[in-house]
Amino acid sequence: MYTHSTDAGWISRSHRAISPFRLVRPSTPEEAIEVFSDQPNATFIAGGIDLVRRMRGGDKWNTVIDISSIDGLGAIEDAGDVVRIGALATHWDVETSEVLAARLPDFQTAWMTIGNVRVRMAGTVGGNILAREAGYDGGVILGVLGAELVFASAEGEVCLPADSAGAEFPAGGLLKRVDVPVVPNRKLLFDRSLKPMVSAAVSVEGDRHAVGIGCAFPEPVFRTGNGAVEAEELSADLPEPTGNPMGSSAYRRRMVGVIAARAYRTLTGGMH
């Protein structure tokens, strides 16, 4: 395990100085969890896109635990009923995975829309989920597929449904992977045409549907049901969306129903 202390400093003229911190590079998940539990103010870093932005903005940590070199956390593997996606898999890894192309092509297509080229090459699946940014869509997509977040913790492995928005992640836990079920005949469509105001993922399996809504709320909102997705019914069933200069609460509420119902019709060939 590598440890280093830095005086940090200015990283650009337009940003504040990053406060000094201790950098630790564990070689196993167990080492990472041990370091985290021993430090009063520690955080994990992998791609660093969100964490570095926060540090530029003045957030401070005494210890930064770099997990980017831990073996096995970036693998994408076919495990039969599920595909296991390592937390360190980049968005580019997802986009180019032959396993996902064969087993979960709709998921792969949806995930290709996340971020720009720079983000896709460096950003990780785990980082997108753990950032819990309102405008991030990883959790929206995974939630409608019944995916499970698998954490390593001092108490052992902890699993959390991806659609449990608002639930606390395990204290001191390290996200190891995401297990995405492979369900025959299930279809998925993700619509981000109205980002950053609203996004929606819709999955359909037989007569059952799941809708995940992003951007319009502080965290993703999910709804499931039987039969067709009805725009007005869905919109009326939602909590109060965020309102800001990009879009009023009323507009976002209405458009959630519109794009979700449209995605459902596309998936079912307009038969409903």
Domains of the chain, CATH where assigned: 2-66 (3.30.43), 76-181 (3.30.465.10), 187-267 (3.30.390.50)
pLDDT, tens only, 222-231:
999 999 999 9
pLDDT, tens only, 78-125:
999 999 999 999 999 999 999 999 999 999 999 999 988 888 898 899
Mean pLDDT across the chain? 90
d(CA 172, CA 138) in angstroms, rounded, equals 22
Higher pLDDT, 58 or 253: 253
Confidence band for 75, pLDDT divided at 50, 70 and 90: very high
Higher pLDDT, 170 or 182: 182
pTM surpassing 0.75? yes
Confidence band for 15, pLDDT divided at 50, 70 and 90: low
